[in-house]
Amino acid sequence: MSVAPDHATGVRAPAGWPSRVASPGSVRMRRDAVVFLLEHCPPEFRAHAPLRRRPLVLARLAAAHVDKQLKVTRRALAQEREGPEQAAVLGILDDAAAVLRKEETRLIKASRSVALVEQALRAETPWGGHDADPHR
């Protein structure tokens, strides 16, 4: 996967960087990151303004949410592989298994992207990587 320069800064984004988030170090990166991270959290999180002001906290929550989704998806796939009888009992059909495999792939990519965004936010955040404003 090639990396594209951010047109505002010329900074190259690493492989796996979400296309909807401006490159690390760019002016738009933090704002774009918040929108991206909220997409990877439960929808109710959008109603909490403090999370928008604390992108690093939001990144940790998004990472935890994506990781949980991935574990549940993998558990469902494992149950499907236990045997046709077990799969029938659980209601997992071939079509559902295909959906689960596709979802697993999506979640692996999302996990990588969320981790990259969190890493970039840490790199640009003063005060030892903490989101809190020391003057508040």
Q: State the residue for tokens 């949410």.
A: 65
- Average confidence score pLDDT of the chain: 84
Determine the pLDDT at residue 7. Answer: 46
pTM over 0.85: no
Q: Is 135 helix (H, G, I), strand (E, B) or coil?
A: coil
Mean pLDDT of 14-36: 95
pLDDT of 115 strictly over 90: yes
- The answer to whether 105 touches 5, Cβ cutoff 8 Å, is no
Mean pLDDT of 19-29: 93
Mean pLDDT of 13-37: 95
Cα–Cα distance, 125 to 95 (Å, whole number): 44
Mean pLDDT of 11-26: 91
Determine the pLDDT at residue 85. Answer: 65
